[in-house]
Structure 1
Amino acid sequence: MSSSSKSGFTVGRAVDWKLAATLGGKLARPEPPATDYTRKQAFEQLAEAARASELPVREVTGLIEGGEIPEARIVNRPEWIHAAAQSMRAMTGGGHADDVKPRAVTGRIAGAQTGAVLAFVSSGILGQYDPFAVGGGELLLVYPNVIAVERQLRVAPKDFRMWVCLHEVTHRVQFRANPWLADHMSKALAVLTEDAGEDLPQVVGRLVDYVRDREVVVKNSEPAMNSTGVLGLLRAVQSEPQREALDRLLVLGTLLEGHAEHVMDAVGPAVVPSVASIRHRFDQRRQRRQPPLQRLLRALLGVDAKMSQYTRGKAFVDHVVAEVGMQRFNAIWTDAETLPKPAEIDEPQRWIDRVL
């Protein structure tokens, strides 16, 4: 993949990724206390659940790619941070090689900032399928976070671990059955991360126009920031091609997350005895009100936008599958033209009318 621009500058080459991974690992929150037996059991059950989830997911989705079932990689928080930094470097045009030198001072500053962000995220992520991993796609499961959440929810650990794997394995199946998806993401990311060569005044001018045209409401001394506002601010400083690329990525992310949520609920009752209780408690946890600082960080990092992807995407998939069945729904994976357009996510009948 390449996200090089006319000037040869990319975001991936502007960040000291080695520093990001090292610093992020040091800043990561301590993991929940657990005995060696508990950690070993979680490790083994997650690995087994990742294997056992594959065939039910393939059967429900109809996405039969036919390959062998790959092993998941069970990791702790620092290991996830290192893997995420590697993936982000590849996604943003920095390549995989450690000998790629970023800009000296700015690279270290950007690396430190990225490491801090990864450290914050590392305590909340349960799992992730990385289509850009070195050597091919890789499923990562963060076992300390799984232990922490199942304790908070007070659910059966074995059931919860299988439930988590159903979601993440669905992402693995999506990408392995449709290899073009990774290239589609790569091209959109290339546009987002390239140096457009614009003068700073042009960027600042768009930002000023955005702020001038919108009223910023402040209540109780809290910043009135939500996922829409932050994305709007991001779009305001982007060129038109970058805005279009961002829209493509957001729509694809909404589809992938919603499809995984739909599959979790479709497969769940057959393989997770306590699935109804897990779903209810997990949804309550998602909706729980956060302290002001936590809410601000979630908004800035796009966490709230991610939550919106789950609900809007699932509503889209639920509607289409209920109307036409999973087999006809799978026309969505044909190519980039059959993916939903931004307006169709919230009006799935428009996608049915256009594509089917």
Structure 2
Amino acid sequence: MESYQQHPVPAAADLVNWDLAAGTAATLVSAGPKMTAKEIRGAVADLRARADEAVTHVHRITGLEAARDLRDSEVLVVDRASWAKANSRSFAALMNPALENLARTHPEQLKGANTALSGTLTGAQLGAVLAFLSSKVLGQYDPFAAQTPGGPAGGRLLLVAPNIITLERELNVDPADFRLWVCLHEQTHRVQFAAAPWLRGHMVEQIGLLTNGLMDKAQTLSERLGHAAKTLASPDGRAALTGGNDDDVPRRPMDIMSLLQDPADKERMSHLTAVMSLLEGHANVVMDAVDARIVPSVKTIRQRFNARGKSHGWLDRFFRQIMGLDAKMRQYKDGSKFVRSVVDRVGMEGFNRVWEGPQNLPTEAEIHNPSLWMTRMGL
């Protein structure tokens, strides 16, 4: 008979090998464009200068006092492997509380060598995902870096130099203009969390509740999958897939994950979707608010950047879909429409009420119907 001492309850680190994830990503990623040491030093210095310059423009456009001479977080110019490592650490900080709860609440199911093997496989899979993403991301403000041991209190802004340089060359645009344009978007995210110091904790809490909820149901996954399959096979399920129209033309495909979530999970997912749409849309609006006086070639950059999105190969489109990048692009569009609609009607000062507290964040329904949010805010 196996004893508890022989197979102790695993720690969170046993369930996902985070170090392996970072190492796998570093092994799989390509270095990026070939550059001399002098060119690299010049690009790093220029990106830092553009990031610093962007703060002034974000302050002017948003009217947020938090953007004035913002110095509350780190700004790092990194390579692809360093970006993957930083994200692995942030994922660990966010996920470990839920994993530790899972280990406490389901110790019998998580004993034994299979757990270590599963943690290794999960780490390797996450590393492969991070490797793919590390060649796509231009920049990222990571508010959750503050959760990592020794992390900066104000989060961390990462600019992925190889990707920015690769894309500016591909688009054949002015490097200085393109780098400032990218920095405007990323610095806006930094300003959002500075203007709403409660936002980081709110998102950590909501992500934790959602993750805990899903993991608590892990033991009934097979039953819920069976229920989902039966639902999809039923007339009601078929109607949901096709939108109920007689021609069986899909209107809004049913998300399998939505069938595996209970109402509380769905509500939290909807809330987080709305928040992410708001943050991404707001950053896009600020990014597009600059004119030729600030970024002389901004019109050319926008045209070529948007046109590039239509030219992805089928394999790249497939990976973007399964990794949620297409959903992220929809968040940009939905959030941008919300922000522009509100600003057009009540001005930036009226829109900025969104940063006053979690009760002022728009719901997913309000993102798609800004009038609902403005009415609720008394605007």
TM-score for both structures, normalised by structure 1: 0.87
1:218-237 equivalent positions in 2, closer than 5 A: 229=253, 232-237=255-260
Equivalent residues of 1:10, 1:193 under 8 A apart: no
CA RMSD, 1 decimal: 2.6
Aligned to 2:53: 52
Number of aligned residue pairs: give it. 334
**Aligned-residue offset at 1:209:** 4.2
Q: Give the direction of change, closer, same or farther, for the CA distance of 1:235–1:270 in structure 2 (3 Å limit).
A: farther
Shift of 1:339: 1.1
Show structure 1 runs of 5+ residues with no match.
1-7, 218-224
For the pair 1:122 / 2:134, whether they are aligned, the reply is yes
Q: Matches of 1:9 and 1:310 in 2, distance apart?
A: 39
Q: CA deviation at 1:292?
A: 2.6
Deviations 1:292-336 (A, max 9, x none): 322221111000001111111111111110110000111111222
Paired residues for 1:332-347 under 5 Å: 332-347=354-369
Residues 74 and 142 in structure 1, CA contact (< 8 A), matched pair in contact too: yes
Which residue type is aligned with residue 130 of structure 2?
A: L
Q: Partner of 1:240 in structure 2?
A: 263
Q: Is the 8 A contact 1:163 1:268 kept in 2?
A: no
> Equivalent residue for 1:349?
371
CA distance, structure 2, for counterparts of residue 210 and residue 184 of structure 1? 34
Equivalent-residue separation in structure 2 for 1:187 and 1:318 (angstroms): 29
Residues 1:196 and 2:216 are matched in the alignment: yes
Match of 2:353 in 1: 331
Find the residue that maps to 2:289 and give its secondary structure.
helix
CA distance in 2, matches of 1:196, 1:337: 27
Asked if the contact 1:13–1:93 (Cα under 8 Å) also holds between the matched residues in 2, the reply is no
1:20 CA drift (Å): 0.2
**Structure 2 counterparts to residues 270-289 of structure 1, below 5 A:** 270-286=293-309, 288-289=310-311
Does the Cα contact within 8 Å between 1:127 and 1:168 map onto a contact in 2? yes
Q: Structure 1 residues 91, 206: closer, same or farther in 2, change over 3 A?
A: farther
- The alpha carbon displacement at 1:210 in A equals 5.2
One-letter amino acid of the structure 2 residue matched with residue 76 of structure 1:
D
Q: Counterparts of 2:231 and 2:291 in 1: how far apart (Å)?
A: 44
Amino acid at match of 1:284: A
Q: How far does residue 166 in structure 1 lie from its aligned partner after superposition?
A: 0.3
| Conserved 8 A contact 2:50-2:179 | yes
Amino acid at match of 1:154: N
CA 345–11 in structure 1, closer or farther in 2 if over 3 Å, else same: farther
Structure 1 residues 209, 181: closer, same or farther in 2, change over 3 A? farther
For the 8 Å contact 1:21–1:81, the answer to whether it is kept is yes
The offset of 1:179, in angstroms, is: 1.3
**In 2 relative to 1, CA 210–34 (structure 1 residues): closer, same or farther, beyond 3 Å?**
farther
Residues 1:107 and 2:113 are matched in the alignment: no
| Cα distance between partner residues in 2 of 1:214 and 1:50 | 50
Deviation of 1:139 (Å): 0.2
CA distance in 2, matches of 1:209, 1:47: 55
Alpha-carbon distance between aligned partners in 2 of 1:206 and 1:188, rounded to the nearest angstrom: 27
Partners of 2:176 and 2:55 in 1: how far apart? 17
User: Following TM superposition, by how much is the alpha carbon of 1:27 offset from its aligned partner in structure 2, in angstroms?
Assistant: 0.8
1:205 maps to which residue?
Answer: 226
- Relative distance call for 1:36 and 1:295 in structure 2 (3 A) is same
What is the identity, as a one-letter code, of the residue corresponding to 2:221?
Answer: L
Distance in 1, matches of 2:10 and 2:206, equals: 16
Contact 2:31 2:162 (8 Å CA) reproduced = no
| Aligned positions of 1:288-327 closer than 5 A | 288-327=310-349
Q: Given that residues 56 and 69 in structure 2 are in contact (C-alpha distance below 8 angstroms), is that contact kept between their aligned partners in structure 1?
A: no
Separation in structure 2 between the aligned mates of residue 50 and residue 10 of structure 1, nearest angstrom: 39
Query: Identity percentage over the alignment?
Result: 40
Q: 1:104 to 1:316 in 2, by over 3 A?
A: same
Assess, with a 3 A threshold, how the Cα gap between structure 1 residues 277 and 114 changes in structure 2: closer, same or farther: same
Q: Is the 8 A contact 1:50 1:71 kept in 2?
A: no
How has the CA–CA distance of structure 1 residues 206 and 341 changed in structure 2, closer, same or farther, with 3 Å as cutoff?
farther
CA distance in 1, matches of 2:196, 2:14: 29
Give me the whole-angstrom Cα distance separating, in 2, the residues matched to 1:12 and 1:170.
34
- What is the CA–CA distance in structure 2 between the aligned matches of 1:113 and 1:338, rounded to whole Å? 38
Cα offset, 1:67, TM superposition: 6.5
Q: Residue by residue, what CA displacement relative to the aligned partner does 1:109-158 show, whole Å, maximum 9, x if unpaired? A: 11011000000000000000000112320000000000011011110001
Contact 2:225 2:260 in 1 (8 A): yes
* SS state at 1:92 partner: helix
